[in-house]
Amino acid sequence: MEKSVERRENGRIRFSWPLWFGYEDQGQLFRGQISDLSNTHISFTIEEHLCPQIGQHLMTRFSYPINSLNSFEMDSYLHWGEVVRTDSAVGNYCRVALRLHQPVSLKTMVTAEEEDALAQIA
Stated pTM of the model: 0.75
The SS3 of residue 53 is coil
Q: What is the pLDDT of residues 12-43, one digit of tens each?
A: 788 889 999 998 766 789 999 999 999 899 99
Q: What is the pLDDT of residue 61?
A: 93
Give the domain ranges of the chain.
Answer: 13-121
Q: What is the pLDDT of residue 26?
A: 62
Report residues of the chain scoring pLDDT below 50.
1-6, 8, 108-109
Domain 13-121, classified CATH 3.30.1450.10, yes or no: no
Beta bridge partners of 20: 31, 61
Q: What is the pLDDT of residue 54?
A: 96
Q: What is the pLDDT of residue 45?
A: 97
Q: What is the pLDDT of residue 15?
A: 84
- In angstroms, rounded to a whole number, what is the distance separating the alpha carbons of residues 26 and 68? 33
